[in-house]
Amino acid sequence: MKRYLLIIALPLFLIIGCEKATIEYFQDENGIMYVQYNGNPNTQRPFTGEIVEHYDEKDGGLKKSKSLYKDGKLDGQNNLWYKSGKKWFQKNYKDGKLDGLSIFWDREEILDTENTYKDGELILQRCFDVDGNECECSDLGRGCK
């Protein structure tokens, strides 16, 4: 009798267990990224992991961004690409603050600006012209004057 109950119950658990879960990501006013399952606020937790976004199919469907989070805060490398697939920037975060080297490229993927941060504070900025020569940075924060 127990064997028959198991044979009947197991497929039911598999069918019920295969229901698709909806996962929502959102940020609060302090910039903390949360994850929530099936619209249930009781499942809301600070997100730890990787989020990858893609451009719409009409725009080619290529990768748009890749960000790493730990306890809801950016932590690790954060990348963004132009619609063409060329890299736009690469930033490094630690506990939600810029930390380390941030690199920006122009639309042709030519090095534009390198910023070095420590605990969210800019400590060094280097800008480059289209030939790769270092130059005086623009007042706008990126590229040459």
**In the chain, domain spans:** 50-135
The yes or no reply on domain 50-135 and CATH 3.90.930.1 is: yes
pTM for the predicted model, two decimal places: 0.76
pLDDT higher at 12 or 132: 132
- pLDDT computed for residue 71 by the predictor: 96
- The pLDDT > 90 percentage for the chain reads 61
* Mean pLDDT, rounded, of the chain: 85
Using an 8 Å Cβ cutoff, are 115 and 125 in contact?
yes
- The pLDDT > 70 percentage for the chain reads 85
How far, in Å, CA of 133 to CA of 90, rounded?
A: 20
pLDDT higher at 141 or 102: 102
pLDDT higher at 104 or 35: 104
Closest of 29, 33, 38, 28 to residue 51, by C-alpha: 33
Using an 8 Å Cβ cutoff, are 96 and 68 in contact?
no
